[in-house]
């Protein structure tokens, strides 16, 4: 009875919600609905004195980040844009990249942490907006051009039947990866909690100066977020919420800390290799480095505001 109540039923319920959510997210992406957000580029391009090429790359980034970066690389090599605009354009494309992954992130987060998902996604969205407006301001101050009309490139919309088949196929590939972390984490936390491991860990971590402001139980979320992947941290957060060990505020702060610590490592492992295939290694390192630094600063600023408001 205890195994069913604390392990099997929560796993079945979460997996069901994740399946529905991921299916919806894949349909949104396959039907190209996110491309409608590209109409926002026009005013921002003009305000930031950015070129048509940056506008076209911004629009393309709603569909493919690789294609958007390839467009920027070719323009830079042909000296159609300078290095300043290249760096700013790469940062500018973070907003469409955010929207491209937003449905998946939201529908993956919601079953685990429930109402806290709205706050967490809202904070990360606010950080992306902050970075975008910072890019527009920097463009206004640093670029001599006066901007132009944004070029909108639309991808042919897929029929619903085709989008459905594609979404089902992607869902089948994704579920085993989620279970790979979800199942062992849930079982591990059940065993550790039953034998009092977390209580002992709290006593040790409570003395830590570095994380003195963070709830000791929250560190397990941070560790899994960094050492495994986002879904592992969410699984830990779900268990702690279900046990009433943590509230929404503590979970959100832990996920933000894990987000900040994990992002540079994953960017180095996953983003940098494909950047090197588009840009030269030195330029790729600069673009990834500036992107991660800018993103981290923005998340810290917005996270700090939430920390102060929710105190």
Q: How confident is the model at residue 148, as a pLDDT? A: 42
Higher pLDDT, 24 or 265: 265
The position carrying tokens 């039907």 is 31
Per DSSP, the three-state class of 215 is coil
Closest to 217 (Cα-Cα) out of 248, 251, 191, 187: 251
Q: Is 45 exposed, middle or buried (0-12, 13-18, 19+ CB in 10 A)?
A: buried
Share of the chain above pLDDT 70, in %: 72
Q: How confident is the model at residue 151, as a pLDDT? A: 42
Q: How confident is the model at residue 161, as a pLDDT? A: 80
pLDDT in tens, 221-263: 877 766 666 777 888 888 888 888 788 998 899 888 888 877 7
Higher pLDDT, 278 or 247: 247
Highest mean pLDDT among 53-57, 66-70, 285-289 belongs to: 285-289
Pairwise CA distance, residues 176 & 198, whole Å: 28
Pairwise CA distance, residues 95 & 22, whole Å: 21
Q: How confident is the model at residue 305, as a pLDDT? A: 94
C-alpha torsion angle, residues 82, 85, 91, 95 (rounded to 10): -130
Say whether pLDDT at 172 is over 70: yes
pLDDT in tens, 176-232: 866 776 677 667 767 776 777 655 654 454 445 455 567 767 777 877 766 666 777
Pairwise CA distance, residues 153 & 62, whole Å: 10
Q: How confident is the model at residue 152, as a pLDDT? A: 43
Pairwise CA distance, residues 118 & 122, whole Å: 6
Share of the chain above pLDDT 90, in %: 18
Is the Cβ–Cβ distance between 62 and 100 less than 8 Å?
A: yes
């Amino acid at each position: 009875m205890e195994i069913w109540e604390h392990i099997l039923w929560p796993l079945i319920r979460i997996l069901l919600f994740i399946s529905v959510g991921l299916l919806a997210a894949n349909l949104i992406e396959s039907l190209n609905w996110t491309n409608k957000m590209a109409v926002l580029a026009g005013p921002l391009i003009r305000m930031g004195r950015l070129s048509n090429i940056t506008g076209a790359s911004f629009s393309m980034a709603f569909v493919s980040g690789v294609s958007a970066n390839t467009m920027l690389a070719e323009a830079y090599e042909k000296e159609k844009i300078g290095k300043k605009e290249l760096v700013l354009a790469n940062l500018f494309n973070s907003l469409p990249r955010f929207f491209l992954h937003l449905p998946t992130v939201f529908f993956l987060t919601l079953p685990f942490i429930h109402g806290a998902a709205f706050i967490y996604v809202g904070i990360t969205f606010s950080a992306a907006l902050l970075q975008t407006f910072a890019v527009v301001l920097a463009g206004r101050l640093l670029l001599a051009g006066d901007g132009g009309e944004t070029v909108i490139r639309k991808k042919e919309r897929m029929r619903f039947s085709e989008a459905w088949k594609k979404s089902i196929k992607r869902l089948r590939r994704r579920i085993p990866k989620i279970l790979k972390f979800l199942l062992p984490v849930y079982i591990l936390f059940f065993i550790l909690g039953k034998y009092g491991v977390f209580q002992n860990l709290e006593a040790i971590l409570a003395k830590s100066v570095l994380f003195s402001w963070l709830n000791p139980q929250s560190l397990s979320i941070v560790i899994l977020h960094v050492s495994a992947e986002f879904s592992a941290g969410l699984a830990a957060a779900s268990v702690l919420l279900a046990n009433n060990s943590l509230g929404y505020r503590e979970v959100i702060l832990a996920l933000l800390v894990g987000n900040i610590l994990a992002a540079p490592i994953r960017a180095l492992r996953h983003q940098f290799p494909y950047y090197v295939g588009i840009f030269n290694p030195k330029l790729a390192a600069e673009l990834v480095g500036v992107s991660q630094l800018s993103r981290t600063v923005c998340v810290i600023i917005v996270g700090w505001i939430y920390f102060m408001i929710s105190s």
